[in-house]
Amino acid sequence: SWFDFNQLMQDMIEDLQRTTEKHQIITELNPIGQVYADKDRISQVLTNLITNAIKYSPDADQIIVQAEIVDNEVMVCVKDFGIGISHDKTDKVFEQFYRVSGDKQHTFPGLGLGLYISSEIIKREGGRIWVNSVQGKGSTFCFSLPIKQ
Ligand code: ATP
Ligand code: MG
């Protein structure tokens, strides 16, 4: 159904901000307006990306969430300055049960399902999901959603 995209993002970020004292979730949200999609599923994707950004940046404090319209698509990006992912593993993180093992200082609990589920949801909505990451520097996960008329 139709929902107010900025309202959803703001509500979710407010909730997720309450789960962390260390991290500051910074928003750069352009006005998106009404979007036709499965609101609960889109919430799930946003939650997965933002909780990952929190979990995988134990030594950084900023997370940036951006939303804009590019070429008739909504584009959302979640940027962190955490552990990052090595280049050869960036495609694999969307596979079921795939996890990159932690470094010597950190272990991170998880099942390796969040990104798989997110990619299935985004595909079903007709969008795309991808990541740019530099190991040791951070990651930017983005997804797009087509705007229906
Ligand atoms: P869960 O099923 O609880 O989400 P998970 O977080 O391990 O467990 P995914 O969210 O699917 O699973 O992520 C898969 C793997 O991709 C993670 O184990 C981690 O190695 C890597 N990853 C995901 N997000 C990030 C990120 N923001 N920074 C660095 N690595 C990440
Ligand atoms: Mg996860």
The rounded Cα 36 to chain-centroid distance in angstroms is: 19
Q: Mean pLDDT, the chain, as a whole number?
A: 95
pLDDT digits (tens, 9 = 90+) for 102-127: 666 778 999 999 999 999 999 999 99
Best mutation site among 19, 44, 50, 56 for ligand 1, i.e. most ligand atoms within 8 A of its Cβ? 56
Q: What average pLDDT score do residues 127-147 get?
A: 97
pLDDT digits (tens, 9 = 90+) for 20-59: 999 999 999 999 999 999 999 999 999 999 999 999 999 9
134 Cβ below 6 A of ligand 1 = no
| Confidence (pLDDT) at 107 | 86
pLDDT digits (tens, 9 = 90+) for 53-100: 999 999 999 999 999 999 999 999 999 999 999 999 999 999 999 999
Residue 125's CB is within 10 A of a number of other CB atoms, namely 20
Lookup: tokens for 43: 């919430």
Statement: the pTM of the whole predicted model exceeds 0.95: yes
Best mutation site among 23, 83, 90, 99 for ligand 1, i.e. most ligand atoms within 8 A of its Cβ? 99
| Confidence (pLDDT) at 103 | 67
Give percent above pLDDT 70 in the chain.
Answer: 97
> Strand 24-29's sheet: what is its strand order?
24-29, 62-70, 73-80, 138-146, 128-134
Looking from the CA of residue 101, the nearest atom of ligand 1 is 20
User: What stretch of H or E contains 117?
Assistant: helix 114-124
Is residue 104 helix, strand or coil? coil
